[in-house]
Structure 1
Amino acid sequence: MIKSIAILYRNPALTQEEFRDYWEQVHAPLVKAALPGLVLYKGNFPVNKADNARFVDAFDCDGIVELGFPDRETMNREMSGPAFNTPEREKSSAHLMDMPRCRSIVMEELEVDLG
């Protein structure tokens, strides 16, 4: 599986709770509808930022999102396509996130057998 993993920082005008609620109720359904080839879509949000203080190199973010695709071709086609790149989705992203701070990376997932 190929993943686009994004480190998200919320729009400073939103609280952490507003950020998460908007992502879950508005933004995620919009993205899901625009990317029919998704095989995985996960949002990860800090539960207690104090828990991360024990890690020397911990960084402070408001969310990590994983978009999983069966292959790179599907990811490239869908993320560069007109269904994803709409003014509505871009406006939603701008409302939700501090876009200049957000980062993303494309990675290949390798699953470890825990059996």
Structure 2
Amino acid sequence: MITTIALLKARGGLSRDEFVDYYENHHVPLVLGLAPSPALYTRNYLPEPGSRRFPADFDVITHLKFADEATRDAWLALVLAEDSGVAEDEARFLDRSRTRSWTVEEHATSS
């Protein structure tokens, strides 16, 4: 499995509820309409900034898993294609200048 983690920041002026609603009900369907769903695609939303018990310069942790690198690369080619509309859509709800992402080696422990 290939795992990608992204830390994403909401665009200024959006409430947490507006941010979550847009991501879940507009952006996710757009992405899934362009490419097959990854093996895992989760969004983990932080509490409102005033309710956090820790400093964080992001609002959501997005976690994607792919069967292998070729699958991830093919998915990214579709989603990040110039005419996909994804970059324009992200500009509606994300501060894209603050996006950070990594491909990581995941180790899981099961009971």
Q: Under a length normalisation based on structure 1, what TM-score does the superposition of the two structures give? A: 0.82
**Residue from 52, 58, 62 that aligns with 1:61:** 58
Matched-pair contact (CA < 8 Å) for 1:34–1:84: no
Corresponding residue number in structure 2 for 1:9? 9
The reply to whether residue 52 of structure 1 matches residue 49 of structure 2 is no
Measure, in 1, the Cα distance between the counterparts of 2:35 and 2:3. Answer: 13
* Number of residue pairs aligned between Structure 1 and Structure 2: 109
The question of 1:99 aligning with 2:99 is answered no
Distance in 2 of aligned mates of 1:59 and 1:10? 12
Match of 1:23 in 2: 23
RMSD (Å) for aligned C-alpha atoms:
1.8
- Please list every run of 5 or more consecutive structure 2 residues that lacks an aligned counterpart in the other structure: none
CA positional deviation for 1:48? 5.5
Report how far residue 19 of structure 1 moved. Answer: 0.6
Note the residue ranges of structure 1 that are not aligned, 5 or more in a row.
none
Conservation of the 8 A alpha-carbon contact between 1:5 and 1:67: yes
TM-score by length of 2: 0.85
